[in-house]
């Protein structure tokens, strides 16, 4: 039996990086939560009034005094800068501050971050000004302090002839990592990846893990109300808050990402109240691991080079509500991983790319296989842009169902193994409408081996 209380006591390892916790940047309007293409930032124009303060101090201090009093302390501060609210690694305001005023000024100027003619329009100020839609009062204060300090200093510094003559050293101040890495480790990118790899299939978990749906689990298998509340890690219609919740509750382990309960339980490597939800080596397993490993690498600062970044999957998929059943499977195929790829008739030929897929273990005892299908399309295709979980489904039409079976359990040995040509078993054509839901599923006969 698990204890209801444990979720509160588990704490993330990466707190000091202050990543997702408390972040409001990634909260998404309820109706937009389904598609990954979102950006939490608001156009700069809307925010002008946020920073209209502070000119007084600048008048009587020298730029050096200002630098020492207000810029250097940022460098020495153990606290994370406001940048970390959106950038999980590679970017920190500290990276833009040198040991001396001259070094800092010369480097920022040569890096194009200071605008000599229009100091208030300096790029470094634009970076600092970038705020999430919903700023917490604390980060708002930090950001304002940083902004006021830099603006006051830059205003004075650009007028100083000695600074103007200062030569930049060899070390360019700025991000410590290549821009591709900076981009990859932005929080909004992380959220996009969470949505694509995990949230897109959260429908497999909501009956027990969403507070909106799991009340009827109370009383089952001895689960109390508290037990059920303790495992309500899904925040309905809010992938950003769900991710926060998973981190806070310790279900994501950034030291050993593949040992996170988020994967070990549903894939059946650890006892799970809900039983195994997807197979080892299946697409879902690969997606979960892709996200978890990438997230851990990001918060642990493991990426230094472009080549280390994981490749983006070429397809995106969402869970439909359409069920596919294959009957008359031989018992000897029990527990083998079976995948279907479904192609649509377009004109006279079958589509080049698959329109749907599904993957799970064969139930040899009952001579069948059944699964809900994922609607799938190449990234950036028109079809992909329209896809929505639980809403998207295969329209009526003619389809070719290609069946692949992992007869030698290759995916169990190597979870990254992709079933391919060698695992092809046979194919079946289907036609007509395909209603969502279990009753009835689309039923096809297991084909003779081709």
Binding site for ligand HEC (CB under 6 A): 2, 7, 25, 41, 81-83, 85-87, 91, 93, 127-128, 130-132, 175, 179, 182-183, 186, 204-205, 207-209, 223, 231, 233, 249, 251, 261-262, 265-266, 271-274, 277
Shorter beta-carbon distance to ligand HEC: residue 91 or 329: 91
Distance from C-alpha of 425 to C-alpha of 332, rounded to nearest angstrom: 14
Cα–Cα distances in Å, from 316 out to 148, 377, 395, 409, 436? 43, 6, 18, 26, 20
Distance in Å, CB of 116 to ligand HEC, minimum: 20
Shorter beta-carbon distance to ligand HEC: residue 91 or 152: 91
Distance in Å, CB of 220 to ligand HEC, minimum: 8
Cα–Cα distances in Å, from 301 out to 45, 75, 171, 294? 33, 19, 21, 10
Is-contact 319 200, C-beta < 8 A?
Answer: yes
Distance in Å, CB of 129 to ligand HEC, minimum: 8
Distance in Å, CB of 403 to ligand HEC, minimum: 24
Cα(first)–Cα(last) distance of the chain, in Å? Answer: 48
Is-contact 255 29, C-beta < 8 A?
Answer: no
Distance from C-alpha of 308 to C-alpha of 291, rounded to nearest angstrom: 15
Residue 315 β-bridge partners: 378
Distance in Å, CB of 219 to ligand HEC, minimum: 12
Distance in Å, CB of 349 to ligand HEC, minimum: 36
Tell me the HSE value of 255 on the side-chain side, using a 13 A CA sphere.
6
Shorter beta-carbon distance to ligand HEC: residue 151 or 402: 151
Shorter beta-carbon distance to ligand HEC: residue 186 or 402: 186
Distance in Å, CB of 131 to ligand HEC, minimum: 5
User: Taking CA 104 as the corner, what is the angle to CA 99 and CA 108, rounded to the nearest 5 degrees?
Assistant: 150
Is-contact 323 373, C-beta < 8 A?
Answer: yes
Tokens of 101: 């005023």
Shorter beta-carbon distance to ligand HEC: residue 294 or 423: 294
Shorter beta-carbon distance to ligand HEC: residue 277 or 393: 277
Distance in Å, CB of 282 to ligand HEC, minimum: 11
Among candidate residues 375, 415, 373, the one with its CA nearest the CA of residue 279 = 415
CA gyration radius, the chain: 27
Distance from C-alpha of 229 to C-alpha of 331, rounded to nearest angstrom: 40
Q: How many CB atoms lie within 10 A of CB 116?
A: 12
Shorter beta-carbon distance to ligand HEC: residue 130 or 402: 130
Q: Is the peptide bond before 440 cis (omega within 30 degrees of 0)?
A: yes
Distance in Å, CB of 345 to ligand HEC, minimum: 32
Distance from C-alpha of 343 to C-alpha of 355, rounded to nearest angstrom: 5
Distance in Å, CB of 134 to ligand HEC, minimum: 10
Shorter beta-carbon distance to ligand HEC: residue 44 or 381: 44
Distance from C-alpha of 330 to C-alpha of 176, rounded to nearest angstrom: 57
Among candidate residues 226, 227, 245, 223, the one with its CA nearest the CA of residue 236 = 245
Shorter beta-carbon distance to ligand HEC: residue 119 or 132: 132
SS3 content of the chain, % helix, strand, coil (to 5): 40, 15, 45
Shorter beta-carbon distance to ligand HEC: residue 274 or 436: 274
């Amino acid at each position: 039996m698990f204890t209801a209380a444990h979720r509160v006591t588990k704490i993330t390892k990466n707190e000091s990086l202050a990543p997702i916790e408390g972040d409001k940047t990634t909260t998404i309007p309820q109706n937009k939560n389904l598609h990954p293409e979102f950006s939490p930032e608001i156009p700069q124009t809307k925010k002008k009034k946020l920073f209209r303060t502070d000119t007084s101090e600048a008048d009587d201090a020298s730029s050096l005094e200002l630098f020492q009093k207000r810029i250097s302390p940022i460098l020495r501060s153990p606290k994370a800068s406001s940048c970390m609210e959106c950038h999980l690694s590679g970017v920190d305001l500290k990276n833009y501050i040198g040991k001396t005023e001259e070094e800092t000024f010369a480097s920022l100027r040569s890096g194009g971050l200071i605008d000599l003619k229009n100091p208030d329009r300096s790029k470094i100020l634009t970076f600092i000004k970038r705020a999430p839609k919903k700023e917490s009062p604390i980060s708002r204060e930090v950001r304002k302090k940083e902004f006021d300090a830099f603006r006051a200093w830059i205003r004075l510094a650009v007028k100083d002839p000695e600074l103007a003559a200062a030569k930049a050293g060899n070390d360019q101040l700025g991000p410590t990592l290549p821009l591709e890495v900076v981009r990859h480790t932005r929080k909004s990118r992380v959220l996009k990846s969470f949505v694509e790899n995990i949230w897109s299939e959260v429908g497999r978990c909501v009956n027990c893990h969403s507070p909106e749906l799991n009340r009827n689990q109370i009383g089952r298998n001895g689960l109390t109300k508290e037990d059920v509340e303790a495992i309500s890690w899904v925040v309905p219609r809010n992938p950003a808050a769900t991710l926060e919740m998973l981190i806070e509750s310790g279900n994501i382990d950034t030291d050993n990402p593949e040992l996170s309960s988020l994967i070990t339980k549903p894939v059946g490597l650890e006892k799970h109240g809900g039983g195994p939800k997807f197979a080892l080596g299946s697409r879902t397993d690969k997606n979960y691991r892709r996200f978890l490993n990438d997230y851990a690498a990001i918060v642990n600062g493991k990426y230094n080079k472009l080549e280390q970044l994981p490749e983006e999957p070429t397809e995106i998929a969402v869970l439909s509500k359409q069920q596919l059943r294959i009957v008359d499977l031989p018992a000897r195929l029990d527990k083998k991983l079976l995948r279907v790829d479904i192609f649509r008739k377009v004109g006279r030929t079958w589509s080049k790319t698959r329109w749907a897929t599904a993957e799970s273990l064969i139930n040899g005892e009952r001579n069948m296989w059944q699964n809900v299908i994922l609607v799938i399309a190449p990234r950036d295709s028109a079809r992909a842009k329209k896809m929505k979980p639980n809403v998207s489904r295969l329209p009526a039409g003619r389809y070719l169902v290609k069946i692949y079976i992992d007869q030698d359990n290759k995916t169990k040995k190597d979870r990254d193994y992709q079933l391919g040509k060698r695992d092809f078993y046979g194919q079946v054509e289907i036609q007509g409408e395909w209603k969502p839901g279990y009753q009835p599923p689309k039923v096809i006969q297991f084909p003779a081996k081709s």
